[in-house]
Chains A and B, each alone.
Chain A
Amino acid sequence: MKRFIAVACATLLSMAAPAMADEWAPDGPIELQIGFGAGGETDTLGRVIASTIEEQTGWSVVPQNKPGGGGIAMFTGLMNQDADGSVIGMGVSMPVLINLTLRGDQLPFDLDSFDYLGTVTRAQLAIIAQADAPFDDIASLVEYSKEQGGVPVAFDAKPQELMLMALNEQTGAGFKLVSTKSSAEMVQFVLGGQVDAAFNAGTHIQYLQKGDVKMLASANADRHSYAPDVPTLQEQGYDLYTDPYFYFAAPQGLDDHAKAGLAKALDDAIKSDNVQNVVRNAMQNSTNNLGPDGTKKMMEDGLKSVGDLFN
């Protein structure tokens, strides 16, 4: 079967583009390991990119879900795979960086265990509240919380929890930290009045347009494309931010030829209308490929800034 696929791919390749003769091509199918379960944002992005690469290059790219620990299980397996470009992984930067910070000594890998290939986009994280809430930014939310003796605020990931804890420490706001499982659940809690404010990574945008919720701050390093008037936490005087990227990596030791070939295939796919549309639809965002070197730098800088959050 493997041989058949290999032959089929070779045939397809030779038909596709004789001009690409000097470019790298895989010996067989590429396995794209997705560090999350089927049906989520990461899975959707990964599958669309895989099918786009197949379309554009004629290679065979097989997506495989390897969920567990926010990508830790997948990367643990990935580091032991052959570094010949036949297996690559897709994950999200934040959970990996958090785990490296919290229990790096227990993890079998570190940042140098991988060669980085690129990023798809950055998740945009906002802090939201009901539209008629008696506050419009973080400072007035803090004041309101103090008056009320501490209001509940929802989060769904460790960096968000740490940011809230830092805010409590810096301002004495006394936020009560409500842990949730998703952006959707947080929007539900805000609309239902169970919490006074919450983080959100996209579900809120329609509600923002409809006028049910308002945005108090961007929790990224920059403002968001759909809400250019809302300042970041940093602009509001709190030195806190998080920048989770969806990124691709391969086991360390990939030769330069293969690395360049894979990075180019990914970049071409990410530039395609197909992927752009899905990123726009799924997260009201535009694609942002940092490339191999930029991705590596993003991970290294990220590890430092996560370290700072914990101190």
Chain B
Amino acid sequence: MLDFSVILAGFADAFTPLNLMFVVFGVMLGQFVGAMPGIGPVMAMAIAIPFTFVIDPLPAIAFLVGINKGGLVGGAVPAILINTPGTPDAAATAMDGHPLAQQGKPEKATKMALYSSVTGDTFSDIVLVTISAPLALVALKMGPVEILALMVFAFSVIAGLVGKSISKGIIAAALGMLAATVGLDPEHATPRYYFGYFELFDGLSLAAVAIGMLAVAEILRRFASSKKGSAAAIPPQKDMAAADRRVSFAEYWACRFTMLRGAAIGTILGALPGVGSTAAAFMSYAATKKSSKDPESFGKGNLQGIAAAESANSAVMGANLIPLLTLGIPGSVGAALIISAFVIHGIQPGPLLFEEQGRLVYGLFGAMIMANIANLFVGQLGLRLWSFVIRAPESVIFSTAILLCIAGVYLATGGLFGVIIMLMAAALGYVMTSFGFSPVIFIIAFFLGGRFEIALSQSLVLLDGNVLALINYPIALALFAIALITMVWMIWTDRRKDA
């Protein structure tokens, strides 16, 4: 057990004006790039890492944590205001956030996103600081078979979002799975569907497909349907009641169980490497919708929907650091970038980190707490800026957004090839939406499909292809059973509703 004085010394190291400055600067940068459709905090971190060579480890890591956390808040902004989520997890936020913004309440929607994001983030940080070590040991026991069962369970919950037509939902999911099989197969590295392009060996870039399908397709739709280019993206409402511009404490408090559930889902999935924030956001959203007394109001600007998505996807970030700090295993690209920052500064994350660098780790925790507070304050100011910006004419907003998407994907994928993939995904997204197929379902299936295939192939080897061998995996069996019950229950409640 760590000496208490080390913990105190670590926090004391963190709470200095210099670190505060780096955290606040990081949060501002993160919120800004997060709000740029197509760019996002991961890229900002990748670009910022070389600049941190010259500063001390703690401010350097505090800066990166600030960017990462700021990005969680910023990412919700374009999703809500102009329905162009830059990442799949923000697509869950857009489902209720954008309708609310269209009703003339963009500030209310973004503020709800800010508060629930900070709430979920703080929850997972508390879990990280207090019980990360035992949680990491539990996570270790989650092998491929258990992860496979967990993903089946996640699919069964998310299936509740398919919408009116189950067949169209299944087709969208199957197409997403198909897109996930492009590239070298995970078992024997045989190339599939690569059409002679070696760029496809690693599969279709998630950034290119997600930005194309979610953001660019929406921008194209707006271009196509705009009658005159001078209208504001969101019509300003001059005589708006104050209550429609802010989130009252009563409204926040009404979402407390939703946020708690979202934060718990995000923390659990975040502690398991590779499942990620997209599954968390949609599971939380689907669970909230299913358990609501008024599921019809979701997708039409329900604050609960925003709270569910944002609390879950933000909770993933803190929890991603659990396997990172205790085992040296990055749970996401953002966490992998934090590892490389550690390594560049001569610190090797892993089992010895707490013993050898305990003071630094608690300094990092201190920086995370500062970043959460900074997020709240910077967010308050930043959201005002964004709700001012979107009063600009639609033609300006969307042409800027499409430029940012192209630049962002060019950077993220290292060339024009990714941009072409993005445009193809945009065209597919446009066609799918026009015919009533959900691009969001496609993206979820695409995002989880790769991981699902790996877990499936690993499980088949471990089980020798024998389903009966599952008996040795009680956790997995339980998860499969819960998945089955969830599916039966959902079909049952849908039937009753129709009857």
Q: Which A residues have a C-beta under 8 Å from some C-beta of B?
A: 37-40, 43-44, 47-48, 51, 64-70, 72-73, 76-77, 103, 106-107, 152, 158, 161, 176-181, 184-185, 187-189, 191-194, 203, 205-207, 209-210, 212, 277-278, 281-282
In the complex, which of the residues B140, B417, B461 contacts A176, with contact meaning CB atoms closer than 8 Å? B461
With an 8 A cutoff between CB atoms, is B389 at the interface? Answer: no
- Across the interface, do A203 and B350 meet the contact criterion of CB distance under 8 Å? yes
The 6 A-B pairs at the shortest CB distance, nearest first, are namely: A69-B201, A194-B143, A206-B350, A38-B46, A192-B140, A68-B199
Given the complex, which residues of B lie within 8 Å of A188, measured CB to CB? 140, 273, 323, 327, 329
Given A38-B46, A179-B458, 12 more A-B residue pairs with CB atoms under 8 Å apart are A38-B43, A48-B344, A65-B414, A66-B414, A67-B414, A68-B201, A68-B414, A177-B461, A179-B188, A181-B186, A185-B273, A206-B350
Given the complex, which residues of A lie within 8 Å of B327, measured CB to CB? 184, 187-188, 191
Within 8 A of A (CB), among B176-206: 184, 186-189, 191, 196, 198-202
- Across the interface, do B199 and A39 meet the contact criterion of CB distance under 8 Å? no
- Across the interface, do A69 and B352 meet the contact criterion of CB distance under 8 Å? no
**C-alpha gap A72/B337 in the complex (Å):** 23
In the complex, which of the residues B143, B196, B337, B464 contacts A38, with contact meaning CB atoms closer than 8 Å? B337
- Across the interface, do A212 and B351 meet the contact criterion of CB distance under 8 Å? yes
Given the complex, which residues of A lie within 8 Å of B329, measured CB to CB? 184-185, 187-188, 203
**C-alpha gap A65/B328 in the complex (Å):** 24
Which single residue of chain A is at the shortest CB-CB distance from B464? A176
Q: Given that A39-B46, A281-B347 are known contacts, is A152 also in contact with B462, CB under 8 Å in the complex?
A: yes
Given the complex, which residues of A lie within 8 Å of B417, measured CB to CB? 68, 73
Chain B CB within 10 Å, residue with most, of A65, A192, A203: A192
Q: Interface code B448-461, partner A: CB below 8 Å = 1, 0 otherwise? A: 00000010011001
- Across the interface, do A51 and B414 meet the contact criterion of CB distance under 8 Å? no
In the complex, which of the residues A39, A68, A207 contacts B200, with contact meaning CB atoms closer than 8 Å? A68
In the complex, which of the residues B141, B143, B343 contacts A278, with contact meaning CB atoms closer than 8 Å? B343
Given the complex, which residues of B lie within 8 Å of A278, measured CB to CB? 343-344
In the complex, which of the residues A72, A106, A212, A277 contacts B346, with contact meaning CB atoms closer than 8 Å? A277
Within 8 A of A (CB), among B145-204: 184, 186-189, 191, 196, 198-202
**C-alpha gap A282/B417 in the complex (Å):** 31
**C-alpha gap A249/B187 in the complex (Å):** 30
- Interface size class for chain B? 35 or more
Q: Which B residues have a C-beta under 8 Å from some C-beta of A?
A: 43, 46, 49-50, 53, 140-144, 184, 186-189, 191, 196, 198-202, 273, 323, 327-330, 333, 336-337, 340, 343-344, 346-348, 350-352, 413-415, 417, 454, 457-458, 461-462, 464
- Across the interface, do A180 and B143 meet the contact criterion of CB distance under 8 Å? no
A-B contact list, 10 entries, CB within 8 Å = A48-B344, A68-B200, A69-B201, A176-B461, A179-B187, A187-B328, A188-B327, A193-B143, A206-B328, A206-B350
Smallest beta-carbon distance B197→chain A, Å: 8
- Across the interface, do B50 and A47 meet the contact criterion of CB distance under 8 Å? yes
Given the complex, which residues of A lie within 8 Å of B141, measured CB to CB? 192-193
Given the complex, which residues of B lie within 8 Å of A184, measured CB to CB? 273, 327-330
- Across the interface, do A206 and B458 meet the contact criterion of CB distance under 8 Å? no
- Across the interface, do B352 and A181 meet the contact criterion of CB distance under 8 Å? no
Smallest beta-carbon distance B431→chain A, Å: 27
**C-alpha gap A158/B141 in the complex (Å):** 27
Which single residue of chain B is at the shortest CB-CB distance from A177? B461
- Across the interface, do A210 and B352 meet the contact criterion of CB distance under 8 Å? yes
**C-alpha gap A161/B184 in the complex (Å):** 15
Given the complex, which residues of A lie within 8 Å of B414, measured CB to CB? 37, 64-68
Which single residue of chain A is at the shortest CB-CB distance from B185? A179
**C-alpha gap A64/B415 in the complex (Å):** 9
**C-alpha gap A179/B187 in the complex (Å):** 5
Q: Given that A64-B414, A179-B458 are known contacts, is A281 also in contact with B348, CB under 8 Å in the complex?
A: yes
Given the complex, which residues of A lie within 8 Å of B337, measured CB to CB? 38-39
**C-alpha gap A191/B142 in the complex (Å):** 11
- Across the interface, do B143 and A44 meet the contact criterion of CB distance under 8 Å? no
**C-alpha gap A107/B196 in the complex (Å):** 9
Q: Given that A179-B186, A184-B328, A192-B142 are known contacts, is A69 also in contact with B202, CB under 8 Å in the complex?
A: yes
